[in-house]
Amino acid sequence: MNNPNEIELYNFIQNPQQNELRNNINNFIRSEYNSQEAQGFALEAIMVMEEDPNTEIDFDDKIINELSASSNLILNRLNSGNNNIKDYIQGFDGDFPVSHLKFTINNNLPSTVYGETQVPSNFTTEIQINELALVNLSDLGVALVFVHEILHAEMFRKLLEASASSNLNPNNRTYEEEIQFLTNLSNNYPGLYDYYYQRFQPNWQHNLMAAHYQSRMALMLLDFDNSRLPLSVYQDICWVGIRTTSNGNTTPSWVNVSASDRNRIIQNINDNFYNGPNTRH
């Protein structure tokens, strides 16, 4: 037992003072055959629960949730019935749903940043939500924020799978490991490989979303909103967050949008992303 994670988990589980968390961790680790990914999620769950015992831990879907009731109202709607967010994520590339997610509140993000997905640490991807900024959005707007950030998380998950480790820093990989990582990515996720490596830009994930994921995102919003609007309007709304990069440059897909289409898109965003039904107040 040389793995530090494994040693820490063993010491936690063997504590004679049993409680529900310890039993859940033990059962979870066994069900996941003590994999490194499971160890990473279990340690994250332990740390979070020790800070706040009321944190929601979903061991089946490997999700840690620290969000408020108003944010969870939208997230639960996305993840229920025909709106099940995991089914849609599954449909993007025919693989399996996002795992090892941690939703947290970060109200210190800039007021124009609604959410931010962090680079995975120990096989867990943290999605930080700026709940102060969400107050100014419609329910549909908040739903898009979650869809957008979960897409970021799904891309990171595929990168983790290709790296066959919890390490996504190329500076920490040997030359041989980097070659194997790129080979795995090219073989299993060629579209991701194309944007991540062949035509890399700092905001490659937004470029990929704009070029290939908007239709699926729009269908998800259509279901969430019970088809209240035409599909074309949901497609327009999905431009939020992917028109420009973090340094203010426009994405290649937005460059190709005509001036008249841009005006319509911006109007639909104003009318429905910022305004519209809000059940959270």
Residue 1 predicted with pLDDT over 80: no
Rounded to the nearest integer, the mean pLDDT of the chain is 88
Pairing mode of beta strands 56-58, 125-129: unpaired
Q: How confident is the model at residue 246 (pLDDT cuts 50, 70, 90)?
A: low
Q: How confident is the model at residue 203 (pLDDT cuts 50, 70, 90)?
A: confident
What integer pLDDT is reported at residue 235 of this predicted model? 96
Q: Is the pTM of this model over 0.75?
A: yes
What integer pLDDT is reported at residue 40 of this predicted model? 86
Q: Please name every residue paired with 102 in a beta bridge, in sequence order, or none if there are none.
A: 64, 126
- Which is more confident, 273 or 12? 273
The tokens of 158 are what?
Answer: 């595929």
DSSP annotation of 248 reads: S
Q: How confident is the model at residue 238 (pLDDT cuts 50, 70, 90)?
A: very high
How many CA atoms lie within 13 Å of 103's alpha carbon, on the beta-carbon side?
A: 26
Query: 121-148 burial, b for 16+ CB within 10 Å, e for fewer?
Result: eebbbbbbbbbebbeebbbbbbbbbbbb
Q: How confident is the model at residue 253 (pLDDT cuts 50, 70, 90)?
A: confident
Integer distance in angstroms from the first to the last C-alpha of the chain?
A: 51
